[in-house]
Every structure is written in structure tokens, then in C-alpha cells.
Amino acid sequence: MTLAEKIIAKAAGLPSVQPGEVVTAQVDLAMIHDSGGPRRVEPILKRLGTGLWDKERVVLISDHYVGDPNEESHAILELTRQWALKNGVKFYDAQGICHVVLPQKGHLSPGMFVVGGDSHSPTGGAFGTYMFGIGATEMAGVLATGEIWIKVPETILIEWKGMLPPVVCAKDMMLFLCGKMGMDGARYQAVQYAGAAIGAMDMPERMTLSNMTAELGGQTGLIAPDSTTAEYITNAGGSPGRWQEWATASGAVVAEHHVFDATELAPQVAAPGSPANSAPVDTYKNQQVDVVYIGACTGAKYVDLKAAAAILKGQKLAAGVQILVAPATKEDQRKAAGDGTLKVFEEAGAKILPNACGICAGYGSARLGKDIRCISTTARNFKGRMGDASSEVWLASPYTAAASAITGYITDPRSYAGAS
């Protein structure tokens, strides 16, 4: 079986499963956040007349409304805190973006079957965990029963041979795939990433790959666990278990197998409207930018902050360009502060925003104004998502976003010698 099939079979208590088969799976963990969590599921649970099936298997994280100044946001956060207290679940309040906090706190392990109340929940697949996003109604069902039905997906195998060049990273890979395959290229299927380039990546970079599987339309984005996975989980206080068991069997049938050469990949940029509007950076060079946003679960983890700082260090910003930096989690911000990375942003005049989803999801006071053109490390650039409908969002890696801050227009980061 493929990795996806092996995990689903385990969750369903079956010796094997096949694509297209509908099974009932036991959920190992449910992750919810302040936006789609208590305020949505509690009324449903009340109507059902039931509580949580297992409070030890529920993790609640506040990240969407954190830092948002209006009273409604404050009320939602307070409701979230009270629900966590009442139900005794594990709660991370204003610690950062849920997709990064969850693995940083050691909650994910290979072979787990996990649901999340957010479309970017496939992030967990980087740990050999079958994790996918569901809506509030389905989540209420999971919270009440600990079960969910699933149609076993086919697997699309995406293999990256070779090694990535300097200042080219996981974000560029995913923007390239969005441009190549489109946003429905893996509709409801499991995507598995493999190859030498993937094996050489650290876990935060792998998380970006799995996260943006959502932009391909995939249900989950899996990477078979290895010693890098096990080391990260152990350092996070979790248990990697018998991680060696979770690999795709030799000869497993996949629906599609794509092979790409990482050595040939150039930095990518997606034009406004869709991540599928992606092309090599030179296609869009000389497009003026007003705001550079280093934020979100795909662009503000510690490694992302380091990448942007490597370009910015010792450089001056273009006149009129504003940099906004929202470290993905408090832990990432502490690490960046400790080694001087954050100081690079501060010396550049960056505004440091809360550890939250922020303007990536249209929250907070820093939302883009009328006719503002922004280059962003976020995963999505749909019209009006980050602010006014007249604003434009160009997607790029932290390297490319930082290089663009220096020139004031979309710029190839390979222009900056010494950046790595």
C-alpha cells in the first residue's frame, strides 16, 4: 500500500484499503482554532446533547483573531478561552499559527490520522501523519464520536531529484507546482513528496510543501518519515514511535508519478488572483511593490525569517517600501531574537506584528489598503483576501520578498551574493 493507504487502513482497523473504498476511521487527534472552533462547534454539540469524545485528543489554538483590535474579535477570543477551561482540552493561547504550533509542541507522529479545522491542515503530512482539513459540522461530529468517514484517495507521487540551488526553497517548489498542475491538479487526492531534494530538507521546509498541497486541491500532502522527522519530533517533546514502518511499499500503485529536477528550479512568483499564476521571477521583474509581508505558516517560520534576513542584512530599503513581519510562532520569534535575525528586520525599519494568521487571512489592523501592491510569503493571493479589493498580492519566497524590499520592485534574489 501507499503511505496514505497504510495510515487509513490502520485508522479503520482493516488489514488493507483500496482507492475509492469508503471507510470509517478512528481519529487520533483533532485540532481546532478560534475561528472555526468553539464558537462554531459548541452550538452543534449542544443540539446533539453530547460533549467531547476524548478531551485528551483535542488541541485548541487561538491564532486567527489574535492581535485584531475590534471588540468582536476580543469576544471570540474570550469565548475560546472559556470553552478551553470548561472542557479541559490542551489550549495554546496566542502562541502562534496553529499549523506550526501543533508540531512544535510535539503533537504529531508518523502513522497518526488527524483532522484539523482549517484548510491548511495538510501541513501535518510532513511528519508522515495523514492530516486534512474539515468544516465545523464535520468537526462537531468528530468531537462527539472520535470517528469520520473517508473515501480512500488515490496517491499522486511528486519526486524531486537533485538539490535546490542557493536562495531557492520549498515555497518556490510549491508555486512551480501550482503553475504546472493548477489548483485542481490533485483534487481530493493524497499527494506524496519524495526524492533527494525532499530528503535534504529540514522539517519547516517540508511543512511548507505539505501545507500548500491545499493549493493543489489535494486532501493531504505526505512525506515519508526519516531520521530528520524523528529528531524533530523528539526535540519537540513528542515520540516518533516506530517511524521506519511508515513508508510506501515497493511496487505500490499510484495514480500519477511526476519527476522534476530541483537543480533547474528558479525562484518563482505568482501574480495576483491565484497561486496558479506562477512563473519564474524574471517573468514579473520590475513590478513595483509598496509592502513586503513576511508572514504566515508558509513564510514566517524561523527558517523563513533567517532566509529573508540573509538577503536584507547590510542592505538599505527602497524609498517608500514598508516591511511587515509576523513571525509564525512565539518560539520562532524567540529564536530569531536570540541569534540577531530579528534585529536585521528591526534595523531595516520593519514593523513586527503579532504571532498570528494576521493579514494572510484578512485579520488585524495591518490589512492592505486601497491600491496597495504587496509581495507576500503567504500561500494565497485571492482578490481582497489580505485587504481592500483593489490591492494586489504577489506570492513569493522569503528570499524573493526580501530582495524586492531592497529594490522596490519584484527582484530575483540570486542577485544578492552571499545569500544562502
Q: pLDDT per residue over 99-138, tens digit each? A: 999 999 999 999 999 999 999 999 999 999 999 999 999 9
Give residue-wise pLDDT tens across range 27-85. Answer: 999 999 999 999 999 999 999 999 999 999 999 999 999 999 899 999 999 999 999 99
337 shares a domain with 234: no
**What H or E segment, with its residue span, contains residue 140?**
helix 136-145
What whole-number distance in Å separates Cα of residue 411 and Cα of residue 403? Answer: 6
Same domain assignment for residues 230 and 278: no
| Residue 93 and residue 62 in contact, taking contact as beta carbons nearer than 8 Å | yes
The answer to whether residues 277 and 353 belong to one domain is yes
Q: Which amino acid is at 9?
A: A
d(CA 235, CA 246): 20
User: What is the tally of structural domains in the chain?
Assistant: 2
Helix (H, G, I), strand (E, B) or coil at 217: coil
Among 122, 27, 107, 26, which Cα is nearest to 61's?
107
Instruction: Say if residue 205 is in the same domain as residue 297.
Output: no
Are residues 112 and 234 located together in one domain of the fold? Answer: yes
Alpha carbons 359 and 230: distance in angstroms, whole number = 33
Rounded distance between C-alpha atoms, residue 195 and residue 3, angstroms: 15
Residue 85: the pLDDT is: 98
How deeply is 173 buried, as exposed, middle or buried, from its count of CB atoms within 10 A (0-12, 13-18, 19+)? buried
Last residue of a domain, one of 262, 293, 320: 262
| Residue 373 and residue 229 in one domain | no
Cell of 215: 493549493
Q: Under DSSP, is residue 43 helix (H, G, I), strand (E, B) or coil?
A: helix
Contact 294, 402 (CB under 8 A): yes
- Beta strand spans in 163-319 (E): 190-194, 220-223, 256-261, 268-270, 278-280, 291-294
Helical segments of 182-324, H only: 196-199, 203-211, 227-235, 302-312
Q: What is the reported pLDDT for 111?
A: 98
- For 100, other C-beta atoms within 10 Å of its C-beta total 28
pTM for the full model? 0.97
Give yes or no: residues 325 and 409 share one domain. Answer: yes
Torsion region of 129: left, alpha or beta (phi above 0 gives left; psi -120 to 50 gives alpha): beta
Which amino acid is located at 247 in the chain? A
Is position 420 within any domain? no
Residue 129 domain boundaries:
3-262
Residues 6+ apart with CB under 8 A from 46: none
Closest CA to 179 of 381, 385, 407, 412: 381
Convert the pLDDT of each residue in 87-96 to its tens digit: 999 999 999 9
Q: How confident is the model at residue 286 (pLDDT cuts 50, 70, 90)?
A: confident
- pLDDT tens per residue across span 287-345: 999 999 999 999 999 999 999 999 999 999 999 999 999 999 999 999 999 999 999 99
Q: Supply the pLDDT for residue 420.
A: 47
Strand 29-33, strand 256-261: pairing: unpaired
Tell which of 262, 280, 297 closes a domain. Answer: 262
317 in the same domain as 211: no
Of 232, 262, 292, the one marking the end of a domain is 262
Query: What one-letter code names the amino acid at 261?
Result: D
If asked whether residues 254 and 283 sit together in one domain, one would say no
Are 145 and 284 members of one domain?
no
Query: Are residues 202 and 91 located together in one domain of the fold?
Result: yes
Q: How far, in Å, CA of 52 to CA of 83, rounded? A: 12
Position 419 pLDDT exceeds 80: no
Of the pLDDT bands very low, low, confident and very high (cuts 50, 70, 90), residue 416 is: confident
CATH number of the domain encompassing residue 324: 3.30.499.10
Using CA atoms, how far apart are residues 108 and 239, in angstroms rounded to an integer?
8
Residues 293 and 276 in one domain: yes
Query: Which uninterrupted H or E stretch holds 175?
Result: helix 170-181
Q: Which helix (H) or strand (E) holds 82?
A: helix 71-87
Residue at 175: amino acid letter:
L
Tell me the pLDDT of the chain averaged across its residues: 96
Report the pLDDT averaged over residues 385-406: 97
pLDDT of amino acid 80: 98
Q: Which three cell numbers stand for residue 323?
A: 516591511
The verdict on residue 357 lying in a domain is yes
pLDDT at 301: 98
